[in-house]
Structure 1
C-alpha cells in the first residue's frame, strides 16, 4: 500500500473511509447478502418513495440554508440574555423542521464563536437537544421519515407515541442549560448575515415537502423542489448523496436479511432494547431500517431508535457531527476530556431513556 500511494493520497483515502464508513458498510452488506441469497433484493415502491422524499427534504433544507435565513435565525438566538437556554432550546425546535444534522451544522459553529469557557457543555447539550427534538416529528430525522412512511402512521398518532420522550428530555435538557452559567452576549452581528431573495421560495418549497410527508398534499407536488433547484438555485443540490445511497443499500440489505433469516420480533420490549442497543454500534438510522423488516411494532422501534441516538458517538450521526465540529475547531482544547464528557452525559441520557420507556410501559 505504501508503494502504491503517496502520503497525501493515503491520507485522503483514510479520511474518506472514516467519513463514509456507513456508506461503505451498507454497500458491502448489500453485496455480501445478495451473494448469500444468490439474487438481488426487490425494492418496494414505499422504499423508493422514502428515498425520494428524503432527497427533496434535503434539497429544500439546503436551499433554505444557502439563502442565509437559517443562519440569520441562529445568530438571533445568541443575542441578549439566557444565551444557553436560547441556543439549546433553538436546537431542539429547529431540529423538528430542518433535521437534527442541519440544526447542529448551523448552531455548533455559532456556539464555538462565542466568548465563553463553557462551549463544551453547550455543544453537548445541543447534541442531546436535537436528538430529543427531532424525534417528535416525522421529518425531524431520516429514520422517523422512514418509519412514518413505511408503517403508514397517522401524524397525530406518531407524535403522541413519542411525545413523552421528547417532552421529558426537553425539560431535563433545558434545566441543565439553565444551570450552566455562561456570559450573555451583547454583541450585535445581524449585519454580517445576509438573507438571499430566494429564502421565501425555499421556505415555501420546504412547506410543500413537509405537507407531502404528512400526506396532506400528493407526492407529485414535491417535484417542484428539484426542478426549482436545477433551474434557479443549484446550490440547493449540494446535499449528502451518500446518505441517499446508504438508505437505498440498507433497504436492500434488510430485505436480504429478512429472506435469509425469516424471523419475526413479536415482543415489544425486545424490539425496543435491540434497536436501542444496535444503534450504539451502527447508528440509529440503519438499525431502524433493519429492524423494521422484522416487526410490526413501530412504537417500540421509534422509541428504541430515539433512545439509541443518545450514548455512543455513532448512536446518531448528529453526535458525530457535534463531536467533530468541536474537536476540529481551533479555539477548543482537550478533545479527550470533551469526549469523556460527551459520552458521560450521552450515556446518562441513554439509561434515563431506557428507564423512561419501561416506566411508561408499566404504568400505561
Structure 2
C-alpha cells in the first residue's frame, strides 16, 4: 500500500509541488490564496472538454477520425496544420484536447514525435490571435489593444516558431501508418450527441452562446454516460493549486519593470516556473510594455513542461496511454528549450535594439 501510494505521489509531482507552494506561501502571508471568476472558469471549461473528449473516445468517434487521417502522405504536417488552425481560433488547450486523443488513436511507428510537436504547434499558433489562449485574451483586454497591432507585434514569433516545428516534423522518415484500419465503426446516438455538444461548446468559447452551455454536457453525461466522468481529475486539481500558488506569489514579490529586454525576460523566465497564463497575470501589474510582455509569455510557453499548461495537458493525455514517459520528457525538453532559445533570439532581433 505504501509503495503504491508513493508511486502515485511521484506520478503527481507537479500537483504535490503546487500544493506545497500554496501551503508555504500561505503560512508566510497568513492568508489563504484568492481565486477569482476567471480561475474557476478555466477549470470549468477544461472539465467540460475532458468529458466531451472522453465521450467521443468511448463512442469510437476518435477511432474513425484517426482511421481517415492515416490515409495519405504528410501525416505529421497535416496534424501540425490542423493543430495550428484550431489553436488560433478555439484556444491552444482545446486544440490539444482535440488533436492529441486523435493522434494517440493513430497506428503509426513514431507516435511520440507527433505528441511532442502538438503542444509546440499549439503554443506557437495560438499566440497569433487575441483569443488564441488565456494569456492573450487577458493582455488584449487589459491593455485595450487594437487587433491589427496585436497580430503584427507577435507575427514574427509565430512565423519563426512554426517554421522550426515544421522542420522538426521532417526529422523522422518513419511516420508512416503500419496498418490502415477500417473506419466503419458507426457512432451511436450518444456519440452524435457528444459531437453536437462539442460544436455548441466551441460556440460558447467564442462567446456566441452562453458558457453555461457546458452544464448541458455535464447533465447529459450524468444521465446517459457516467463512464465519461472517468477523466484526469488530478489535472483539474493541479490547475487550481497553480492558480492559488501564483496568487500568493503576487503578494510576496514586488518589482517595477521598464527596460524592454527585462520586460521580456522576466515573463519568459518566470513562465518556466509558474506557467505563462499566471505569468501574464502576474507581470502585467509591473509593466506598461505590452509588446514585451506578450512576447515574454509566448516564448515562455516553450522551455519547461510547466511553461505552458497546454504542454501539461498534452503530457497527461500521453502518459495515460503509454508506459515510457522518461524518453518523452527528455526529447520534449531538448526540443522545447531549443525553441525557447530561438524565441529569445527572435525577440532581440525584432525589438531589443
In the alignment, structure 2 segments of 5+ residues that lack a partner are none
Correspondence 1:73-92 to 2 at 5 A: 73-92=65-84
Structure 1 residues 239 and 266, CA gap change in structure 2 (3 angstroms): farther
Deviations 1:33-66 (A, max 9, x none): 2222222233333333333233233333333333
Report if aligned partners of 2:104, 2:318 keep a CA contact under 8 Å in 1: no
Partner residue of 1:251 out of 243, 250, 264: 243
Q: Distance in 1 between matches of 2:101 and 2:82?
A: 13
Task: Find the aligned partners of 2:178 and 2:263 in 1 and give their Cα distance.
Answer: 48
Distance in 2 between the 1:57 and 1:319 partners? 14
Q: 2:312 aligns with which of 311, 317, 327?
A: 317
SS in 2 for 1:15: helix
Residue 72 in 1 paired to residue 64 in 2?
A: yes
Greater Cα offset, 344-353 or 175-184: 175-184
Render the CA deviation track for 1:138-178: whole Å, top value 9, x for unaligned. 786xxx33653687478957766655433443333234434
- Please report how far the alpha carbon of residue 324 of structure 1 lies from its aligned counterpart in structure 2 after TM superposition: 5.0
Q: CA deviation at 1:27?
A: 1.9
Q: Unaligned regions of 5+ residues in structure 1, if any?
A: 1-8
Distance apart, 1:258 and its partner CA: 2.5
Instruction: Calculate the TM-score normalised by the size of structure 2.
Output: 0.76
Which whole-Å CA distance do the structure 2 matches of 1:204 and 1:151 have between them? Answer: 30
Inter-CA distance 42–136: structure 2 relative to 1 (3 Å threshold) = same
The aligned residue for residue 197 of structure 1 is 189
Structure 1 residues 245 and 134, CA gap change in structure 2 (3 angstroms): same
Distance 1:139 1:12 in 2: 42
- Relative to 1, partners in 2 of residues 1:209 and 1:166: Cα closer, same or farther, differing over 3 Å? farther
Post-superposition Cα deviations, 1:79-114, rounded to whole Å, max 9, x if no partner, equal 12233333443444456653425533431462xx43
Distance in 2 separating the partners of 1:354 and 1:272: 9
Query: Are 1:38 and 2:30 an aligned pair?
Result: yes
Compared with structure 1, are the counterparts of its residues 50 and 293 closer, same or farther at alpha carbon in structure 2 (3 Å cutoff)?
A: farther
- Measured on the aligned residues, the alpha-carbon RMSD in Å equals 3.9
From 206, 212, 228, the equivalent of 1:236 is 228
Q: Residue 328 of structure 1 aligns to a residue in which SS? A: coil
Residues 109 and 325 of structure 1 are in contact (CA less than 8 Å); yes or no, is this contact kept in structure 2? no
Q: How does 1:280-319 map to 2 (within 5 A)?
A: 280-281=272-273, 283-284=275-276, 287=279, 290-291=282-283, 300-315=292-307, 316-317=311-312
1: CA distance between counterparts of 2:246 and 2:273? 17
The correspondence for 2:102, drawn from 89, 103, 106, is 106
Equivalent of residue 345 in structure 1, options 335, 338, 348? 335
Q: TM-score, normalised by structure 1?
A: 0.74
Q: Which moved more, 1:145-154 or 1:27-36?
A: 145-154
C-alpha deviation, 1:297, in angstroms:
6.0
What is the number of equivalent residue pairs in this alignment?
343
8 Å contact from structure 1 (residues 312, 346) kept in 2 = yes
What residue in structure 1 maps to residue 53 of structure 2? Answer: 61
